[in-house]
């Protein structure tokens, strides 16, 4: 069931196509201890034209049709060009692309286009993350134009966390667009577009239909945020496909190689992992070995699900372990190739 947009709806992120991925499992808003305003509403329909690709099929999309792809979050120190380049040099050739999203511990970071240019210069394809928190639509359109000119591999469109939840609560949140609207703008710029969806995020029964509207707006690929068990991932992919989301899915695989990175993962909103996943890593004699083995096994299990055409090696390193984390990601990537 769908409904026209509700511009009068009171949402801290000014969203039209909510709810976002920050809804707590109890249905609470990520910004304030009140219920998400979208929960009692039907799925908001995309009011614009249904996206149709008129340009040649992007390289990464064509690759996903041939074989599963391996994407990895790139661990680097914020505002540190050398750290970004060293991490890129460590994983180049071991994964198909790197996802450059929000930094886990710092809101202030290099601009998306600049980061993408630094990493692509090292010979590593970029899947650039872009959020609606920090820029209005004019600035976002400028970034999209720059990313298209760089010929980045893809753009991952997210609404983004509210500034109140990060290390710069003094910053004014923007949210001129939401992820669905940004996906449409990215497709109009000629880019390969991905969006994220959290299968168990309230209202879980409507998440597949929300993805359908994102696809109608312009999304080519769906990243499935930490779904938990293989069965849960399979159920979501089947439900979304049956609802009309005919896109390849990339499953997020949590990577933890030490107690610090495991603690960082536990802070993820709506994190779900297979039972005992982190505990087994934390209690192992060699957490690094155990973490790599667990990630490889989970990735292989996820890739057995029909419709899943890739995995994203996802994790947040504890400060000072960025390069060792990149080395672990490279090892996982090689094992999956």
- What integer pLDDT is reported at residue 7 of this predicted model? 58
Tell me the two tokens of residue 151: 């010929």
- What integer pLDDT is reported at residue 264 of this predicted model? 86
pTM metric for this prediction: 0.96
* Inter-residue contact 129 to 112 (CB < 8 Å): yes
Question: Is the peptide bond between 215 and the residue preceding it cis, with omega within 30 degrees of 0?
Answer: no
E-assigned strand segments in 176-325: 193-197, 221-224, 249-254, 308-314
List the domains of the chain with CATH numbers. 58-336 (3.20.20.220)
Nearest to 223 by CA among 166, 292, 277, 155: 155
- What integer pLDDT is reported at residue 270 of this predicted model? 75
CB atoms within 10 A of CB 80: 14
- Split at pLDDT 50, 70, 90, the class of 5 is low
CB-based contacts of 278-281 (< 8 A; 24+ apart in sequence): 278/254, 281/256, 281/257
Residues 260-277, mean pLDDT to the nearest whole number:
88
- Spell out the residues 6+ positions from residue 134 whose beta carbon is closer than 8 angstroms to its own: 107, 160, 171, 174
Residues 145-154, mean pLDDT to the nearest whole number:
98
User: In this model, does residue 145 exceed pLDDT 90?
Assistant: yes
- What integer pLDDT is reported at residue 6 of this predicted model? 59
User: In this model, does residue 183 exceed pLDDT 90?
Assistant: yes
User: In this model, does residue 11 exceed pLDDT 70?
Assistant: yes
pLDDT digits (tens, 9 = 90+) for 152-173: 999 999 999 999 988 999 999 9
Find the helix or strand (DSSP H, E) in which 78 lies: none
- Spell out the residues 6+ positions from residue 96 whose beta carbon is closer than 8 angstroms to its own: 60, 63, 69, 70, 71, 125, 310
* Inter-residue contact 231 to 239 (CB < 8 Å): no
Distance CA 231, CA 30 (A): 27
Helix (H, G, I), strand (E, B) or coil at 155: strand
Distance CA 116, CA 114 (A): 5
User: In this model, does residue 33 exceed pLDDT 90?
Assistant: no
* Inter-residue contact 224 to 252 (CB < 8 Å): yes
CB atoms within 10 A of CB 320: 9
- pLDDT more than 70, % of the chain: 98
CA angle 159, 161, 164 (to 5 degrees): 140
User: In this model, does residue 2 exceed pLDDT 90?
Assistant: no
E-assigned strand segments in 132-279: 154-158, 193-197, 221-224, 249-254
- What integer pLDDT is reported at residue 1 of this predicted model? 41
Residues 309-313, mean pLDDT to the nearest whole number:
98
User: In this model, does residue 306 exceed pLDDT 50?
Assistant: yes
User: In this model, does residue 68 exceed pLDDT 80?
Assistant: yes
């Amino acid at each position: 069931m769908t409904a026209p947009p509700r511009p009068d709806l009171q949402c801290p992120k000014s969203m039209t196509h909510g709810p976002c991925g920050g809804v707590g499992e109890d249905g609470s808003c990520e910004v304030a201890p009140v219920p998400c305003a979208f929960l009692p509403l039907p799925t908001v329909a995309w009011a614009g034209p249904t996206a149709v690709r008129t340009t040649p099929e992007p390289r990464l999309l064509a690759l996903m049709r041939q074989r599963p792809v391996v994407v990895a979050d790139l661990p680097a120190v914020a505002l540190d060009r050398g750290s970004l380049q060293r991490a890129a040099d460590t994983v180049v050739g071991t994964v198909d692309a790197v996802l450059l999203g929000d930094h886990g511990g710092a809101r202030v970071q290099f601009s998306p286009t600049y980061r993408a240019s630094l990493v692509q210069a090292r010979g590593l394809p970029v899947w650039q993350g872009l959020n609606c928190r920090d820029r209005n639509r004019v600035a976002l359109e400028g970034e999209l134009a720059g990313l298209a000119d760089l010929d980045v591999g893809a753009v991952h469109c997210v609404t983004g966390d509210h500034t109140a939840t990060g290390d710069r609560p003094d910053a004014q949140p923007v949210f001129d667009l939401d992820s669905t609207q940004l996906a449409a703008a990215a497709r109009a710029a000629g880019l390969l577009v991905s969006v994220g969806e959290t299968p168990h995020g309230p209202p879980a029964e409507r998440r597949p239909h929300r993805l359908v509207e994102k696809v109608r707006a312009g999304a080519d690929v769906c990243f499935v945020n930490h779904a938990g068990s293989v069965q849960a991932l399979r159920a979501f992919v089947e439900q979304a496909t049956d609802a009309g989301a005919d896109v390849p899915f990339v499953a997020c695989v949590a990577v933890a190689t030490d107690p610090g990175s495991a603690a960082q993962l536990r802070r993820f909103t709506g994190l779900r992992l297979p039972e005992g996943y982190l505990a087994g890593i934390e209690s192992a004699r060699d957490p690094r070995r155990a973490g790599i083995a667990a990630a490889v096994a989970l990735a292989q299990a996820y890739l057995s699900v029909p419709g899943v055409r890739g995995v994203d090696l996802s994790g947040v390193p504890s400060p000072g372990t960025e390069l060792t984390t990149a080395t672990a990601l490279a090892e996982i990537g090689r094992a999956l190739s």
